[in-house]
Structures are given as C-alpha cells and as structure tokens.
Chains A and B, each alone.
Chain A
Amino acid sequence: MGKKVAIIGVGMSKFGELWDKSLAEISLEAGMYAIFDAQVRGKDIDGLIIGNMSAGRFTGQEHLGAQAADWGGLGNLPAYSVEAACASGGAAVRQAYMAILSGEHDIMLVLGTEKMSDVNQSMAMETISVASDWEWEGMFGATFPALYAFMARRHMMEYGTTEEQMSMVTVKNHKNAVHNPWAQFQRPVPLEVVMNSGLLADPIRVLHSSPISDGAAGLVMCSVERAKEFTDTPVYIESSRQAGDTLALHDRADICTMGAVVSSSRSALKETGLAIKDIDVFELHDSFTISEIIITEDIGIVKKGEGGKAIEEGLTEIDGKFPVNASGGLKARGHPIGATGVAQIVELALQLRGDAEKRQVDGVEKAMSVNIGGTGATSIVHILGR
C-alpha cells in the first residue's frame, strides 16, 4: 500500500512527423527535459531504460540504450531497451520501478521512443503488424486495423455499439489535444468528418485510428526516500501491474474484452486499496477508438457493453466523472509506439502536480494508465498518486 517509487522529473519531445530530427535527437530531447525538470545532474543517474518497439525496422538502429547514454553524455551507466510492442513504454516504466524498488538502482532515466516516419507507409504498416501474431495473422492479410475491426464488429453485434460512438471518442480526444502543446494534432475535428473519413478496414476509418508518429517521452524516477531532495512536487507510483493474454486475437474465446486489462487493472486497484471511482483521471490506450471503449469497460468504469454509451453520455469527457485521455490520447497526441506508455505517465504526473495547464482536471489525487501491446496480449497498468 501507498508510495512505492517516485517520479521527480518529466519531459517530452514534440509528437508528430518530425522529418528534421533523428531517433537519437528526439530521445535526447525528452530525456534532457526530464533531467532539467528533476534538477538532477547527469552523474546522479545510475541507469537508463528505453521503451521501444521496432527501431531496427523503422530506422535500422538497435542497441538504443548504448546510443542514448553515449549521445547524452551519461557515461558508462547500464543502459538497455525493453520491448512489449505498443506496451514497450509501460514496460520500461515498470522495469525502472522494479529496479528502484529492489534497491539495485537509485535514480533512473526512463525513455520511451519511436521514429516511425523514416519508412514509407507500406513498411510502417508491415512493422506495426509484427505486434500481432505475424505468421498466423499478418501474413494472411490481417492488417493491424483489421484486427481491431474484428473486435469492433463483434462489439457492435453483441452490444449494439455504433460507428457514431466510435467516432465520438475521436472527437473527444482531439478536443482535449487542442490544449496539449506536444500533441501531433492540436485541433478539433467535427463528428461528420470522422464519420466520413476513409475506411482502413471496415468498420474502422482513418480517424478511428492513431497516426504514424515520431516522438519520445522521458521520466526521472527514484526511491521515495530521496524524492524530496530534488523536488517539492514528486508524484508516486503506487502500483505497477502487468498481465498477458494470447498473442493471436483468434485464440481468445471472447474478443470483446481484453482479459489482460481486466486482470492487471483489478490487481493494481487491489494493491492500492482503491476502487475505480477513486481514480480522478485516466490515460487509456486508444490506438483505435474501439480500444478506448473496450478498456473503459474492462477496467470497470462501466459494465461490459456500455462503453459506447459512456462516451455518448459524456462520462469520459475532461469535465466528466471519469476523464479519459485529457492529453488527447494516442489518437490525437500521436502514437510513437514505444513512447506512448511513458507519455501516458508524463501526462498523469503533470495532472497530479497541477501542471497540466488548460487541460488540467480539477483536484487530481489518483491517476491510472492502461498501456496495451498488440491486440491486448500485454497490458500494463500504473496507478499514481501525490
């Protein structure tokens, strides 16, 4: 129960198609902002973990830990990357959490990074689909949007979820991103435009899908005992939980629910002794808008099947009872795959500190992130508090 590990600094690069910047440059940008924010010195940091899915395919570069430590002038500290598809960022945060909690590391820099726009769209689509069971899904023509279309179509049939409700998630997240200076799309989008946007894989349209993005996010984390040496406003990770599910979507009895999200969120709430109604702000993994709807149900904001109604009734609006994705989410902030899980924590830390400016939710005491990999084969949940 209570505070486990402290977050003392946060940093972001801009998210978007950053043609003028390399993978190393955006990673360093986020990392340096996090270090400045924490007011630690480079030499205080004793470990570096990077969340990244596929730099090898997107840019041709692997061994990102060594690259960032070298370019960042952090010396010979232990540095490596972790991969769990779209949950790579969450996995990096969780690695650092465990390393600090164990006492092995003292002050760590956590980065999440992805540079997706260095390849063409075909290559990007192929690389994204390696997050699924490539040999048995992707190779047979199931693109990543098609796999989420599988879920959406069943959800529509079983629970009456509509295209309009899936589109309203986009409208909400774009509206929130207007006030996020790092977001890829800082502009609202009308419902009709979403509903008439091009089809990727029916019933999923372009504007139901997170974009191809470049971007990086960073955190400086340390033990609870040392946090006050560096900042008056540390925030704390109170729980970090992870669960898994089948890699291939077709191996799941029920594809309208993400079992890994159900178990990891339940177990995180249990560890903190909180109920879902005690959480004041959420960052949920809306790689496609149907996944925000499904996760809203799976973590218990509403009952199974009522996720569509929740968005319609404004429950998850920034001024609603359960604000979801005040940052704009993956849809509008952008989804540089490995960066997302870290960017979610950056947003929640700012919300807890009261530093989220125009997108600030009132009186945030507890916050939750859900970062999933693939079609839900990995789920990583963090609960943060002040």
Chain B
Amino acid sequence: MAEKGVAQLWRKIKAIYTIQGDHCTTCDTYYFPPRVVCPQCRRKGQLEKYTFKGLGKIHTFAIVRQAPDTFKRQIPYIVAQVELDEGARLTAQIVNCDIEDVHIDMRVRSCFRKITEYGESGIIIYGYKFEPTMKVTGHE
C-alpha cells in the first residue's frame, strides 16, 4: 500500500505538472484531463497526447473564504474555470492577482505552484495554477 495520496498523485504527474491532456484526431477536440476514450467518438476516436500551451481566459470564478484544512492557510483565494485557448476548460486557482481585480474573460497563463499538502508529514502536491498574463512576457 502506498502512503496517502502518493500513488494517486504520482500516476498523474505529467498531467498536472505540464497540463498534458489528449487531442482526438478524429473529431479535432482537445481534452483535459487526459481521457481513456474520446467521449464523442468512442471507439472511432484517436487520442494523442497533447501538452497544452497554458494560455486561456477565465470563464467563471469564486473567492473561497471557507475551505477544508488542506486549503485553510490560503483563504481567501480565487478559484476559477479557465478556458484554455485550445478549447478545453479546467478548474484551478488564480494567483498573483488581487481578489478585487479578477474578472470573467481575464487572460491568464499557467504557472507551476504548490497546490496543498497532506498534513505536517504528508506529501506535497504541486501542479498548475494560473496568473494574469503580462505584456512583458509576450503572453497576450
């Protein structure tokens, strides 16, 4: 038996460290998280690994003010649905942004952050969060 969360995290490190999902060449749809089968084409689908560019915009968001212990240290924080430029949507925290400034359609880019940790001696989960794009980095 693995320690709590170890195997569960380890097996999807590629997906959550690099935003790797799938592209179905049959229907030209991008999927995140990675799929076992294309839900539209099913057996006719052809899934290829695809690493998302990590750019998108905020579809909707919430300011979390009450959270379980695993996120208590971070409140208040912004969590959002980000619509990636390739079309897939995912749920992630928005960082480097004041809670007053976040808005729907805001352009964001991915960044690599600590998500949470399982208690004092538990494992630390890393993965994607998103931050506002900046002109200086050329991400618009």
Contact = CB atoms under 8 A, between A and B. Distances in A.
B79 interface: yes
A62 interface: no
A143 B67 contact: yes
B61 A153 contact: yes
B66 A145 contact: yes
Interface in B68-85: 68-72, 74, 77, 79-81
B57 to A, nearest CB: 13
Nearest to A155: B60
Contacts of A125: 66-68
B67 A136 contact: no
Interface in B45-99: 59-72, 74, 77, 79-81, 89-93
B66 A200 contact: yes
Interface stretch (A10-18, A32-40, A244-252, A325-333): A244-252
B65 A200 contact: yes
Interface string B85-127: 0000111110000000000100000000001100000000101
A141 B77 contact: yes
Nearest to B66: A200
* Secondary structure type dominating chain B contacts: strand
A126 interface: yes
Interface string A113-150: 00000000011011001000001110111110111011
A274 interface: no
Contacts of A275: none
* Secondary structure type dominating chain A contacts: helix
A181 interface: no
A249 B81 contact: yes
A77 interface: no
A255 B89 CA distance: 12
A112 B116 CA distance: 34
Contact of A202 (B62, B69, B127): B62
A58 to B, nearest CB: 14
Nearest to A120: B69
A125 B125 CA distance: 19
A335 B130 CA distance: 34
Contacts of A157: 104
Contacts of A202: 62-63, 65
A123 B72 CA distance: 12
A140 B70 contact: no
A141 B72 contact: no
B65 A126 contact: no
A136 B60 contact: no
A248 to B, nearest CB: 7
Interface residues of B, number: 32
Contact of B60 (A154, A199, A204): A154
A122 B81 contact: no
B89 A126 contact: no
Given A141-B71, A141-B93, A251-B89, A136 B65 contact: no
Contact of A153 (B90, B92, B104): B104
Given A122-B68, A250-B90, A150 B62 contact: yes
Contacts of A154: 59-60, 104
B15 to A, nearest CB: 9
A250 B130 CA distance: 15
A201 B66 contact: yes
A157 B63 CA distance: 16
A250 B63 contact: no
B80 to A, nearest CB: 8
A149 B65 CA distance: 12
Given A141-B74, A145-B66, A150 B61 contact: yes
Nearest to B81: A250
A140 B60 contact: no
B61 to A, nearest CB: 7
A150 B66 CA distance: 15
Contacts of B77: 141
B115 A141 contact: yes
Interface of B: 8, 12, 33, 59-72, 74, 77, 79-81, 89-93, 104, 115-116, 125, 127
16 contacts: A122-B69, A125-B66, A142-B64, A143-B68, A143-B71, A145-B64, A146-B64, A150-B81, A153-B104, A198-B65, A201-B66, A201-B79, A202-B62, A250-B91, A255-B60, A255-B81
Interface of A: 122-123, 125-126, 129, 135-137, 139-143, 145-147, 149-151, 153-154, 157, 198-204, 248-251, 255
Given A251-B89, A255-B81, 19 more contacts: A122-B68, A126-B70, A135-B8, A135-B33, A140-B79, A141-B93, A141-B115, A141-B116, A145-B62, A149-B62, A151-B60, A157-B104, A198-B65, A199-B65, A200-B64, A200-B65, A200-B66, A201-B65, A250-B89
